[in-house]
Structure 1
Amino acid sequence: MILIGIYGMIKSYQEWKSHDEPVRRLAFTLMVSFVLFGILGGLTVFLMMFINPDFWVVEAIVVTSGYLLLANESLSMLEKLRSPERRAGKKVRCALPVAGIVKSREEAITLLKAVAVYTGLPILVIGREHPDEWKSKTGIEPDEYIWLTRVEHKKAVSPSSLHVLSGKVIGFIRENPGSVIYIEGIEYMLFYSDFKAVAKFLFSIRDVAMMEDAHVLILANEDTLTPEQMAILKKEFEDVDVEKVLEKMIGPALFGAIPSRKRRELNASTEGSEERGRAGEEEAEEAQPLRREEATEEGR
């Protein structure tokens, strides 16, 4: 029991170091359970056999504690890994297309915030910024973040390794049906691979998302891609109407705190322009008789 406990504790510690939450927490719980079950349990058995049988009380406490700790954490982990649709007992309204294009990062962040708050669907982000910097700038903490860089980092994938990137994304989609994948940095991939390879990467993810009821959102516009490249992408990815998606996802009553403000600002500026235009017309009409009088006086 002691040898098994020591072996299990070492293996659990190695897994604890190599994973992020929530697997990290499960590995820690398993490590503590091996200590209780194996090491302390084995020691109390030794004490019962060679010193005093009354140590069975300690044995019962240690083994029961280890069992309850491991069972509780395992059940909690299973609950967390359950898909949001089943956890809620109903289908979540995401309203995002299977494959969509957004033309600005602001639109993408607005959509991702709505997904995080109103659907609870798992989110994977592929970005060019350091994971901590991306979270601090956007205020979103995705379930998984892949840093697109050649720098050595546990969350990094080289932009030239599209096969590695594809494997990670497809694995996430299959483990999290209904999830949302957001990809920015396509222009950075094009520094290391030709457009044909990048397009194949995006299309393969799109096909898997379709089978798993997931959603792929990419950031792409004419400033970073040629018209021909955009035309190819738009055959597989549709333009996302942010306001319509938010209205379907959130509902008319709560729709669009951010877009609404923008609409109010736009309406205010439009009304101001119209008022200035009407004022200009009135001033022009008032000025016409004065100009006629001035012209008459000059003629005289």
Structure 2
Amino acid sequence: MIPLIRTFSVATPGSRIIDYRSLPQLLDRFSNKEVLLITRRPPNYITDVNGRVIWISKVNHPKAIHPSRIHVIEQITWDSLNNGVDSVIFDALEYMMIEHGIDKTLKFVGKLRDMTMYQNKEFYVTVSDGIDEKVLALLRRIVE
């Protein structure tokens, strides 16, 4: 079972795995903090974020970053952390797994987590029921 957001303490910096359905509640809790949201959700669906949204998509759009441009996402994350972002939320795990495979995606998540934790900020990864137990166990080892 995936932990729900209500069990977490937002006051203590750390990293967590949350159910993707809890994203609105998490964004609500961070309404007074600056957040970097890395997501598959189009920008017109994300209106309640205090901070920056990275839309990962193959659509040719000025607000989209192609999923193959992992280095760009990493650089934006690093720059955002150095410029006041309090939390990073990665809401594109399954999509990146489809695009890059499990190993490369888990390495990417590990790097995002390390950058965030180095800056003493919070890191969250959303997951759905589509993640099998083996991958979820590996993800927990990397994130939590």
Asked if 1 retains the 8 angstrom alpha-carbon contact of 2:27 and 2:49, the reply is: no
Asked if 1 retains the 8 angstrom alpha-carbon contact of 2:117 and 2:123, the reply is: no
Partner of 1:110: 25
CA distance change for structure 1 residues 100 and 183 in 2, over 3 Å: closer, same or farther? same
Structure 1 or 2: more helix by fraction? 1
Letter in 2 for 1:200: K
Query: Could you tell me how far apart the structure 2 residues matched to 1:160 and 1:200 are?
Result: 14
Query: Could you tell me how far apart the structure 2 residues matched to 1:220 and 1:96 are?
Result: 21
TM-score (norm 1): 0.42
Q: Deviations over 1:156-207 (max 9, x none)?
A: 1112222221111122112225x11111121111121011111111111111
Correspondence 1:98 to 2:14: yes
Query: Could you tell me how far apart the structure 1 residues matched to 2:107 and 2:12 are?
Result: 22
What is the correspondence of 1:131-280 to structure 2 with a 5 Å cutoff? 131-135=43-47, 140-176=48-84, 179-221=86-128, 223-238=129-144
Query: Could you tell me how far apart the structure 1 residues matched to 2:95 and 2:142 are?
Result: 21
RMSD: 1.8
Relative contact order: is structure 1 or structure 2 higher (C-alpha 8 Å, sep ≥ 6)?
2
TM-score (norm 2): 0.84
1:155 deviation in Å?
Answer: 1.9
Q: How many residues align?
A: 136
Q: Deviations over 1:54-87 (max 9, x none)?
A: xxxxxxxxxxxxxxxxxxxxxxxxxxxxxxxxxx
Query: Could you tell me how far apart the structure 1 residues matched to 2:141 and 2:20 are?
Result: 19
Asked if 2 retains the 8 angstrom alpha-carbon contact of 1:98 and 1:206, the reply is: no
Structure 1 or 2: more strand by fraction? 2
Asked if 2 retains the 8 angstrom alpha-carbon contact of 1:99 and 1:236, the reply is: no
Q: Deviations over 1:113-146 (max 9, x none)?
A: 1121xxx2211111212212222xxxx1331111
Query: Could you tell me how far apart the structure 1 residues matched to 2:139 and 2:19 are?
Result: 13
Q: Deviations over 1:11-43 (max 9, x none)?
A: xxxxxxxxxxxxxxxxxxxxxxxxxxxxxxxxx
Asked if 1 retains the 8 angstrom alpha-carbon contact of 2:39 and 2:92, the reply is: yes
Match of 1:127 among 24, 39, 56: 39
Runs of 4+ in 1 over 2 A off after TM superposition: none
